[in-house]
Amino acid sequence: MSEEVKSIGIDSTPRLMVGSRLHPTENLLLVPEGALQLSGPAKDILAMVDGKRTVSVIVDELLAQYAGAERHEIQQDVLALLGRMQQRGVIRG
Amino acid sequence: MEMTPTEYSLTRPSSLIAEVTHRCPLHCLYCSNPIELKRSDNELATEDWVRVFKQAAELGVLHLHLTGGEPLARPDLAQLIASGRAAGLYVNMITSGIGLTEKRLAELVEAGLEHIQLSFQDVEEASANHIAGTRAHAHKLALIPIIRKFPIALTLNLVIHRQNIDRLESFIQMAEQFAPERLEIAHVQYYGWALKNRELLMPTQDQVERSVVIVEAAKERLKGRIKLESVFPDYFGSYPKACVGGWGRQILLIDPIGQALPCHAAAVIPEMRFDTVRERSLAWIWRESAAFNRFRGDAWMSETCKTCPRKERDFGGCRCQAFQLTGDANAIDSVCTLSPDHTLMAQLRTKISEPLPIWRG
Ligand SMILES: C[S@@+](CC[C@H](N)C(=O)[O-])C[C@H]1O[C@@H](n2cnc3c(N)ncnc32)[C@H](O)[C@@H]1O
Ligand code: SF4
Ligand code: SF4
């Protein structure tokens, strides 16, 4: 990856790429020339990626939603998902 | 695996390409629009398109691409965008930018436009205007910072060919300053006016090889910031591409008068009968239209393709090109090394001359 792209950490406030949005009903992220299939909690996570919430706030809210889950596991999942999406250019840090 | 047309039609089209008009203020030498343009007095009305967009969303289409011709030539464009969004589609507009001002763009974004694809002819002004047959370049350049004021995605598109390919690197440098979400570098495809101008547009082998190196380096450098997509030139390949993602598999194109085509060039194939959205629903067309079923599955294929494992990937390649080059729409795509006509490609590649340009009317 190019050096100018900073990787996402717990204090980052990631946002979706301009011109991308979640499909209202299906598990898809619509991007300018296509759609990314989302699985598991990815849609719930991305719904909170708004350029305002930090990753740790997103994790807090997920903890409230998914009772019984471990914080560090959720955090790991969120960072992994955002990292993958950033690689594809659809999430900006 | 044997797949019958009906099984194919169960997959949903993902994109609707709406050619809302053939009118265009530019005259690009490479324009893929048909030579016989559809007359504007026969264009679909606003309410026809509104119905079509609704049916498309019901059929599972995700993206609506408003194109033409020049979509901005339609005074009802904002309404078309709004109805596409209301139906639930992702709305993109492919444009030369002629007819676009900040005020008009504000209306279109307000209506729900999400992505704009602006096409360039070259990085060098005189050449760009020559290729477009119109002085359009300066306006396009001035538009980019205006578009960037709005929260929509931007793709910059450049169709490359012998006349501009040597400036590809400077084009990419120019484009990346504006941080578009996408950059699309497309080798010219030889349909419509491009076919008429093929000898003028055909790059040399050397140019193609250099362009691949430039594109690959830029892809790596821009990764995570700008998505660079490029289409490798067919004439220089050894195996065909899955043209339009496979005939009748992903794309539905509606031309300005409402005919439904599986690909923008499909009308070059003789004895094609296109159904129209004035008479049929999109769902019916997707399932039943003879034009869509004609090259689905493998029944139409030559034995070579039928028994070839690559058919699952390329679906037999491009039918329009096969017809244009061999006179037989069922023939193996001549891009394929297994085609008896493959040597044609080498002949077309090496026949470099400087004929006179023919601009789109
Ligand atoms: C036919 S144009 C119509 C929209 C608008 N007038 C424009 O030029 O952007 C649609 C897209 O196809 C591209 N295009 C036109 N002719 C082509 C060709 N022969 N091969 C590849 N792309 C082509 C254009 O650059 C544009 O991005
Ligand atoms: S490619 Fe050029 S001539 Fe063709 S529709 Fe677009 S702007 Fe018009
Ligand atoms: S033989 Fe037919 S299916 Fe096989 S690669 Fe060539 S065109 Fe594709």
Domain residue extents for chain A: 15-92
pLDDT at B65 over 50: yes
pLDDT at B73 over 80: yes
- For chain A of 93 residues, list the mean pLDDT of each consecutive stretch of 10: 72 95 93 91 93 95 87 93 91 84
Interface of B to A at Cβ within 8 Å reads: 14, 62-63, 88, 90, 92, 114-115, 151-155, 181-182, 220-227, 229
Mean per-residue pLDDT of chain B: 92
Nearest ligand to the CA of B231 is 1
Residues with Cβ within 8 Å of residue B204, at least 6 apart in sequence: B162, B352
pLDDT digits over B9-57, tens only? 457 899 999 999 999 999 999 999 988 887 888 999 999 999 999 999 9
Ligand 1 neighbour B70 (Cβ under 6 A): yes
**What is the number of the ligand 2 atom nearest to the C-alpha of B33?**
4
Predicted confidence band at B344 (pLDDT cuts at 50, 70, 90)?
confident
Predicted ipTM?
0.89
What pLDDT shows up at residue B9? Answer: 47
Stated pTM of the model: 0.92
Q: CATH for A15-92?
A: 1.10.10.1150
- Taking alpha carbons only, the member of B233, B248, B240 closest to residue B291 is B248
Ligand 2 neighbour B70 (Cβ under 6 A): yes
Nearest chain A residue (CA) to B65: A33
Burial of B174 (0-12, 13-18, 19+ CB in 10 A): middle
Q: Ligand 3 centroid vs B324 CA: distance in angstroms? A: 17
Q: Give dist(CA A28, CA B183) in Å, integer.
A: 23
Cβ atoms of B171 and B123 within 8 Å: the answer is yes
Burial of B96 (0-12, 13-18, 19+ CB in 10 A): buried
pLDDT at B234 over 80: no
